[in-house]
Structure 1
């Protein structure tokens, strides 16, 4: 019994020692300071970069700044000695129109077309009748239910309410497949997002779409819809159409809810619509830096630090300031990664470099659907099975409106989804160095924002790589031109970056890598 107690004491002592404050880590972390943070972010979030949109010259300027800085501090290029990993992508531009009873409606303001449902070279749609079929459900998985009843959809323009109480077992794709198989002429989907856009930014985003070269997304939807136009409409267009049937959207919604029964009907109207799409090849870049490990064995294992540097560019629909500077989203995270790169290089120059290698990824196209990290997964410059963990930084420069004791907090998301080790390492590191409030309210399966799936770390999590998403929360300037550098809290930005750096230091230098002991979600 005594021997067991001694062994337990030694084990706890060793565990505590591995997390004692490391003087080399503390010394190298001195470059993570407000002076350096302001220098980086003053450029990245400046009007000169015009919002750093992926696939533009402005986005390329940001990429080159990051590459030049890596070169300046001695970080190696990870792409055959270079820093830029070019991504092959296609930008889709739309031209679209819609009229009801001769009255024109505004693209994206009142309606928008699903880009991938527009057959080439485009479509011209005209009809004098429409089939309204409730939610478009034919099997709710609970009881025999059919919103179409005996109504045939062949050759008809079909109008559906976008979502309803029976959608669980019969989703959007099921509806599209059903209508396309039965040769419907077009689908009008009543979609609340058309009526609830916060500002002109959504207009800009819905007018274009960007896809990776070889992406299955476009081709799969094209095959699914079989060139059947899918047009999202808001309440204004829906009411204009239903007026011909002497009703409106609120009335038919109420009838469906109160009766709990299908309510299909055909009504006469006059609808004209057209759309076309053009393609533009674009080649934004991931910026990949490499710090080789110092240990002859452990150097083959890699810690990945990532942050997307792209933002939303210029909003042509904006009144007043049209530049989406993205100081917090994600100039703050990019700034954090640049300072962490500098800190690791300080350790290298002092002869105390990390035992494992560090891969630094400033990702492009996150705002377009995690495109840069998706491209990396398909075109890795460091094999995915060598990456032991990904620490992803997206928005760490502000304080949100949710309750916290003070601004000394950070949301951690996903740390325990694949590895109990990684979660424990972060918490112990925080207790040892930074003592931030580690808020996990978004790290739940029923998170309404589903943040675990919404930034670049998720592409690595899908490969079974333990990840953590560091995030400081939403604020009133999220995805708006008002996300400016003047609103950044540089002190807390640096403190949060220090937590991530010390965590990366521990991952890079500990004897064992985090054990993956949970299944991929």
Structure 2
């Protein structure tokens, strides 16, 4: 990838020389504030060396044990981990920066846990059961049985090239439509005029949004181009996932209710439209022949009964914060993050998440003690260091989103976020080489951050820095999938340290006995050296880039 060679050279010069300096440091008298950059850089190896395999092992063996029940957001094990981390922060001398609540180390907030209750759709006297005969996307509000009128709207499309809504009123009704979009006789999309489908096929919410704007209360999408057996197999595959509770931020009461999508197969669709499976398939051919929407040949059942109930409960959870206050630049903040939640217990099996992200969590704890000890000895940091283990990452980066929406310390004063997520294993690209780390995002907002990290690695750790996932065309989209992204969205430079995925990712086999603790130690020390430079250099790094 392209590098800012000037910035790299500058940072290399800035960091140069420390390896040859003494590895022990003299404790500075407490009345003296050390701001000399050269002396601070010389002290860095002393405190980097306190990040050890022994301490990492001790912490990870605790929080990734069965006793912590997989640390699922809002549940007992996550609370236990929060207590363990905050007690360690306190013991190491970090302060709790949170002003509200009973625990200054906790940023507590509510999420909402929802799970499915009873669900069915009755058509002409026959009851079809949720997750047996059909599935649902979105968040329906039919907590009691509702009698709902139906209206057929073709494919449910309203586009400049094609519309199904001419002279159709869906206000207060269920809009019934086919999955997908119309094609011409050559099999090309009537909308795109190519073999590539439009967003009307790939994003069901586009149809839902149009129906909602026109007053519909729900949409039913008929999968008529697959067999009933294929549809049933798909429903069976997603059943286990759909039955798990979902966790999100509570909705504002004033928010417009979401129009859900009820997905059904050809058998249920035929009963609803009073048609055979062949009639359903023929409809597509008729539209292709006409090249436009046609008058409906169906006479759907006028009224159906729908119940799609959800159980809802508030779920309190916590980000855990520890602060090492800076000296002459204490109003500026360097943040180091990792998520300490995992996916809990599934089918009676504990998913301990030793790598994901126990490895990152214990690294943050070790960096916190290193900086705290340095401060006790009189060696900075000049800028304040915020060490934060966040909750709710596995539910959609919720903990870091809450923090950046409700910052404990001002975002405008936040210099950087260094995020650590999964650094204790090898991926298939590096089966025989543990001396690597993926670095993602370091150049996207600040060329100086990228250069500083590279220079620290060159001087101290000599890891292979792999940037393949930094590519904006990366199909994995890892840049958007961990907690640093909520800082990047707020124009705060970030660097994400990651070892890639492996066969035990999100499995009950992600256990401590497979962790490469010497790998964590080395990557942890790289993050330390980068953070140390960011905290102690004279100038705050510049935001001078805006890469995708």
**TM-score normalised by the chain length of structure 1:** 0.82
Q: 1:472 to 1:133 in 2, by over 3 A?
A: farther
SS of 2:382's partner is coil
Q: Quote the Cα distance in structure 2 between the aligned partners of 1:193 and 1:13.
A: 61
Q: Which of 501, 518, 526 is the equivalent residue of 1:499?
A: 526
Structure 1: stretches of 5+ with no match in the other structure: 1-8
Match of 1:6 in 2: none
1:231 and 2:261 correspond: yes
- C-alpha contact (below 8 Å) 1:304/1:360 kept by paired residues: yes
Match of 1:240 in 2: 267
1:64 and 2:96 correspond: no
Q: Which of 506, 512, 526 is the equivalent residue of 1:479?
A: 506
1:83 and 2:105 correspond: yes
Q: 1:82 deviation in Å?
A: 1.8
1:161 and 2:179 correspond: yes
Match of 1:330 in 2: 357
* Residues 106-115 or 54-63, more deviating: 106-115
Aligned length: 487
SS of 2:120's partner is strand
Q: Quote the Cα distance in structure 1 between the aligned partners of 2:132 and 2:466.
A: 37
Q: Which of 223, 226, 234 is the equivalent residue of 1:195?
A: 234
Q: Quote the Cα distance in structure 2 between the aligned partners of 1:256 and 1:497.
A: 63
Q: Quote the Cα distance in structure 2 between the aligned partners of 1:190 and 1:303.
A: 52
SS of 2:469's partner is coil
- C-alpha contact (below 8 Å) 1:111/1:194 kept by paired residues: no
Q: Quote the Cα distance in structure 2 between the aligned partners of 1:169 and 1:242.
A: 18
Q: 1:305 deviation in Å?
A: 0.3
- C-alpha contact (below 8 Å) 1:75/1:291 kept by paired residues: yes
Q: Which of 176, 197, 202 is the equivalent residue of 2:208?
A: 176
Q: Deviations over 1:136-183 (max 9, x none)?
A: 3322xxx61225566654534423427981118996554323212333
Q: Which of 313, 317, 322 is the equivalent residue of 2:344?
A: 313
Q: 1:277 deviation in Å?
A: 2.7
1:35 and 2:54 correspond: yes
Match of 1:118 in 2: 141
Q: 1:255 to 1:490 in 2, by over 3 A?
A: farther
Q: 1:334 deviation in Å?
A: 0.4
Q: 1:360 deviation in Å?
A: 0.6
Q: Quote the Cα distance in structure 1 between the aligned partners of 2:164 and 2:429.
A: 42
- C-alpha contact (below 8 Å) 1:410/1:439 kept by paired residues: yes
Match of 1:365 in 2: 392
- Aligned CA RMSD, in angstroms, stands at 3.6
Match of 1:448 in 2: 475
Q: Which of 42, 53, 58 is the equivalent residue of 2:72?
A: 53
1:138 and 2:171 correspond: no
Superposed counterparts of 1:12-31, under 5 Å = 15-21=12-18, 23=23, 24-31=43-50
Q: Which of 404, 407, 411 is the equivalent residue of 1:380?
A: 407
Q: 1:500 deviation in Å?
A: 1.2
- C-alpha contact (below 8 Å) 1:333/1:393 kept by paired residues: yes
Q: 1:267 to 1:363 in 2, by over 3 A?
A: farther
1:420 and 2:443 correspond: no
Q: 1:292 deviation in Å?
A: 1.3
Q: Deviations over 1:17-66 (max 9, x none)?
A: 42444542222122322221111111111111111122223211110000
Q: 1:349 deviation in Å?
A: 3.3
Q: Deviations over 1:160-207 (max 9, x none)?
A: 4279811189965543232123333521357999938978762354x4
Q: 1:258 deviation in Å?
A: 8.1
Q: 1:149 to 1:360 in 2, by over 3 A?
A: same
SS of 2:54's partner is helix
1:304 and 2:335 correspond: yes
Q: Which of 423, 433, 445 is the equivalent residue of 2:460?
A: 433
Q: Which of 411, 432, 435 is the equivalent residue of 2:438?
A: 411
Q: Quote the Cα distance in structure 1 between the aligned partners of 2:289 and 2:505.
A: 41
Q: Quote the Cα distance in structure 2 between the aligned partners of 1:467 and 1:519.
A: 12
SS of 2:429's partner is coil
Q: 1:496 to 1:255 in 2, by over 3 A?
A: farther
* Residues 188-197 or 470-479, more deviating: 188-197
Q: 1:307 to 1:256 in 2, by over 3 A?
A: farther
Q: 1:108 deviation in Å?
A: 8.7
* Residues 184-193 or 466-475, more deviating: 184-193
- C-alpha contact (below 8 Å) 2:69/2:76 kept by paired residues: no
- C-alpha contact (below 8 Å) 1:75/1:289 kept by paired residues: yes
Q: Quote the Cα distance in structure 2 between the aligned partners of 1:510 and 1:256.
A: 71
Give 1 or 2 for the bigger CA radius of gyration: 2
**TM-score normalised by the chain length of structure 2:** 0.78
Q: 1:390 deviation in Å?
A: 0.4
Q: Quote the Cα distance in structure 1 between the aligned partners of 2:443 and 2:133.
A: 41
